[in-house]
Amino acid sequence: MIVAYTVLAERKVLGWIQGRIGPNRVGPWGVLQPFADLLKFILKEDLVPDKSTKFIYFLAPLVALTCALLPIVVYPFGPTITTVDWSFLPYGLGDGITRLPLTIAQIDVGVLFVLAITSVGVYGIALAGWSSNSKYSLMGGLRSSAQMISYELAMGASILGVVMLAGTLDLNGIIYAQITSPFRWFIIPQIIGFVVFLIAAFAETNRVPFDLPEAETELVAGFHTEYSALKFALFFMAEYVNMFTVSVMCVVLFLGGWYVPGLGRIFEPGSIPYAAVSHVAFIGKICAFLFLYIWVRGTLPRFRFDQLMNFGWKFLLPVALGNVILTIIVVYFLNS
């Protein structure tokens, strides 16, 4: 549990740092830059637009950040530790603990939980756009909610293939299913699903090339045009935490989560070094995805809105559904 919480704290910092390679004045190599930024955000004047709908204006950033942070409780950060005797802990804390899963809450329907919470995250953006009472914000909010509704379908459909292969909705269960499957990683049988998921994930997090809701050149800054200081910081954090969330989903569903092939021969499965190495591997895979995000942001131009909708509904969704049907057929013949 403590490991998981430390990771949670680290993740937020990491999400901050990823976008910034430039700063090098605060601390050695600029490692303290995010803290300086945060301090600035806190100390800045908090402007509230005169015509805004106050209550919803305050509610929106809270909703956005809460929905971004909630999925962390179901992430499988590492394998279950089973071989350690915890009775050395004081006050009888370790009594009766034989298994220590590196997950905060093990939910039977983990995949659905993450999907549900991220879909609620749309409210943050839509309400922010509406309550600011500014046309740029409203345009950004409308665009963003339309985009997120459209791409959620493709995202859900692309996950279905993995769920069918694994036969469970539990995130840890999916990882164990990948370990026991002949492919090791589900990216090999589910390459179509993976590509669709990746594209939909870019759209869900409003990143380039799908960052229409916050297209600077057209809409000033989209839904958070009217937000300043700490409230803007909350939106900013929510966006980066969302990036982290979809990276985790990608890694868990398609890249085997914390599993490192061949590690079981070096360390005993269930021991602490095994868990530690797996955990580092997990973080490493996520960092690779976060790097991919920034890479894509640096290279690709932005879509036009009708192109975005056409692409989502007429290409991505049919491909994802075709992948589901293909997987059904394959799974049926494998089982019979």
Query: Cβ of residue 279: shortest distance to another protein, in angstroms?
Result: 26
Task: Write the DSSP symbol of residue 82.
Answer: -
- Considering only residues 115 through 134, tell me which ones interact with another protein, judged by CB under 8 A: 115-117, 119-120, 122-123, 126-127, 129-130
CA angle 45, 133, 207 (to 5 degrees): 75
123 and 59 in contact (C-beta within 8 Å)? no
**CA–CA separation, 42 and 36 (whole Å):** 10
71 vs 189, beta carbon nearer another protein: 71
DSSP structure string for 307-325: HHHHIIIIIIHHHHHHHHH
89 vs 149, beta carbon nearer another protein: 149
Q: Where are the alpha helices (DSSP H) in the chain?
A: 2-18, 33-43, 54-69, 110-120, 122-131, 135-166, 171-180, 191-204, 216-219, 229-254, 263-266, 272-299, 305-310, 317-335
Query: Cβ of residue 307: shortest distance to another protein, in angstroms?
Result: 20
Query: Cβ of residue 55: shortest distance to another protein, in angstroms?
Result: 8
304 and 113 in contact (C-beta within 8 Å)? no
Q: Which of 4, 7, 102, 146 lies at the binding interface for another protein (CB under 8 A)? A: 146
89 and 96 in contact (C-beta within 8 Å)? no
Going residue by residue from 270 to 289, which x/- string records binding to another protein, judged by CB under 8 A? --------------------
Q: Is 309 in the site for another protein (CB under 8 A)?
A: no
Task: Write the DSSP symbol of residue 46.
Answer: -
- Considering only residues 59 through 118, tell me which ones interact with another protein, judged by CB under 8 A: 59, 107-109, 112-113, 115-117
Going residue by residue from 231 to 270, which x/- string records binding to another protein, judged by CB under 8 A? ----------------------------------------
113 vs 254, beta carbon nearer another protein: 113
Closest CA to 130 of 118, 150, 145: 145
Q: Which of 73, 142, 195, 220 lies at the binding interface for another protein (CB under 8 A)? A: 142
Q: Which of 69, 138, 157, 165 lies at the binding interface for another protein (CB under 8 A)? A: 138
105 and 73 in contact (C-beta within 8 Å)? yes
Three-class DSSP category at 10: helix
Q: Which of 36, 56, 230, 326 lies at the binding interface for another protein (CB under 8 A)? A: 56
Binding residues vs another protein (CB under 8 A): 53, 55-56, 59, 107-109, 112-113, 115-117, 119-120, 122-123, 126-127, 129-130, 138, 141-142, 145-146, 148-149, 152, 169
